[in-house]
Amino acid sequence: MHEHKEEICKENENRTLIVIIFTIIAMFAEILYGYITNSMALLADGYHMGTHALALTLTFLAYVLTRKLANSDRFKNGTDKIGTLAGYTSSIFLGLTGFWIIVEAIDRFIHPLKINFDDAILVAIIGLIVNTVCIFIMESKHNHCHEKTEEENKEHNHTDEDYNYKAAYLHILADALTSVLAIIALLAGKYFQITSLDSIIGILGGILILKWAAGLIKDTTKILLDMK
């Protein structure tokens, strides 16, 4: 079981690294093209991808530390909580992203700006394609690498779910969700002049992301504090 656990953790580590590479390439491409075309939409999305790249890097480093320190005697109960701590920290980043989306959407609703629909739709489509590829890479039926015995799970009231991986997955899922919602809103604005829908959908998307983050923070906090 221990070898199986290490194999799954290593697989999750490799998947996360691939997703980081995809995200960073897309980030630099959008920022570069944004400067070339003077598109603020492309620049904004490029820098937004940077925040997710940071969170994903945190996930990757947690896997590396867990593997490197696996045999260290400095950890009384093993290194599994390194991943949980990374998941907790990453979920805070996720929550801040959701909050930022809501604040920005409310500001745009109160002070609407002229939208360059063609550029904005292009950005959303690029983001959706990148995130869809990343979701397929990260999708796995065997992403629980912190395996514990039934007695340990019962004692600490949690399963062997890999919250480090789950947090990274939710970051990508949140990006994909915002891209889909943005495309719907932008198309409605371009062809039906319903520009307020962009802000309304942004608020709803931000609330959903906050809900995901809150659930993840709750789950990881229970494990970190050994709560029943």
Dihedral sign from CA coordinates of 124, 126, 129, 133: negative
Domain count, the chain: 1
Mean pLDDT check: name the lowest of 25-29, 39-43, 58-62.
39-43
- Please give the share of the chain, as a percent, with pLDDT higher than 70: 82
Residue 211's CATH number: 1.20.1510.10
Residue scoring higher pLDDT (39 or 7): 7
User: Residue 153: its pLDDT value, please?
Assistant: 45
| In the predicted structure, residue 64 carries a pLDDT above the cut 80 | yes
Q: What is the pLDDT of residue 186?
A: 84
* Neighbour count for residue 224 (Cβ, 10 Å): 14
Residues in contact with 166: Cβ distance below 8 Å, sequence separation at least 6, in sequence order: 87, 143, 216
Examine the pLDDT at 54 and tell me if it is beyond 80: yes
Q: What is the pLDDT of residue 149?
A: 43
Reply yes or no on whether the pLDDT at 170 is more than 60: yes
**Residue 194: pLDDT above 70?**
yes
Pair 182, 189: CB distance under 8 Å: no
pLDDT of amino acid 43:
66
Contact 213, 84 (CB under 8 A): no
Please report the pLDDT score of residue 214 as a whole number. 95
How many CA atoms within 13 Å lie on the side-chain side of 186?
Answer: 19
- pLDDT tens profile 108-125: 889 887 777 888 888 888
Pairwise CA distance, residues 156 & 148, whole Å:
10
pLDDT at 20: 92
**Is 228's pLDDT higher than 80?**
no
What is the arithmetic mean of pLDDT over 73-90? Answer: 83
More confident residue, 135 or 79: 135
- Helix residue ranges, H only, the chain: 2-37, 40-68, 80-110, 117-138, 150-156, 163-192, 196-224
Local confidence band at 41 (pLDDT 50, 70, 90 cut-offs): low
Q: Which domain, by its residues, includes 73?
A: 2-224
In 69-162, alpha helices (H): 80-110, 117-138, 150-156
Q: 6-33, pLDDT tens digit by residue?
A: 676 788 888 999 999 998 988 888 788 7
